[in-house]
Amino acid sequence: MLAKSVQDKMNDQIKHELYSAYFYLSMAAYLESNSLPGAAHWMRLQAQEELGHAMKFFDHIHDRGGKVTLQAIDQPPTEFNGLLDVFEKTLAHEKKVTSLINDLYALAVQEKDYASQIFLQWFVDEQVEEEKNAELIVQQIKMIGDHRASLFMLDRHLGEREAAEE
């Protein structure tokens, strides 16, 4: 049985994961409208991943005899100041999600919820990867600066991203 405190925090995490999907989809819309289809594709896949993460929590709560309670999702921003701003906001957002996952893991430890600790380890590892990927793209955009040809090539590279297998 899932402790109520863990259940409540996981329900919060579902909201955060769904917001993340909404956030990245908003970025995809912005990037599409600014002629960056590769980066938009990258963000669409990111949004799909976040939906998958929400469903992992949804299933875990049910598998443990808990109750899923969906919460309201805030509207994400719709305007950004270019590609660097988009990925800097992505990195900041992933760092926030890492903090939320770490807090949830700490609660599972406190509650001696070993099944949830094992479940959450996947998310701990995932967040390392998410931050690493966002940081790399931020650094690449900074290296490019205003060099349009390089930006074009980076956009094409981002468009080659394939959906993750989870």
Smallest CA-to-CA distance from 161 within 41, 53, 50 is with 41
Burial of 30 (0-12, 13-18, 19+ CB in 10 A): buried
Please indicate whether residue 47 or residue 164 has the higher confidence score (pLDDT). 47
Lowest model confidence (mean pLDDT) among 60-64, 122-126, 147-151? 147-151
Instruction: Tell me the pTM.
Output: 0.93
How many CB atoms sit inside 10 A of residue 66's CB?
A: 18
Domain residue ranges of the chain, discontinuous segments joined by +: 4-70+78-158
Spatial contact of 39 and 146, defined as CB atoms under 8 Å apart: no
Q: Which ranges constitute the DSSP H helices of the chain?
A: 4-33, 37-63, 83-110, 114-144, 148-158
Kindly indicate the confidence band of residue 145, based on its pLDDT and cuts at 50, 70 and 90: confident
Smallest CA-to-CA distance from 22 within 96, 104, 77 is with 77
Q: What is the pLDDT of residues 37-46, one digit of tens each?
A: 999 999 999 9
Superfamily designation of domain 4-70+78-158 = Ferritin, core subunit, four-helix bundle (1.20.1260.10)
Q: What is the pLDDT of residues 53-102, one digit of tens each?
A: 999 999 999 999 999 999 999 999 999 999 999 999 999 999 999 999 99
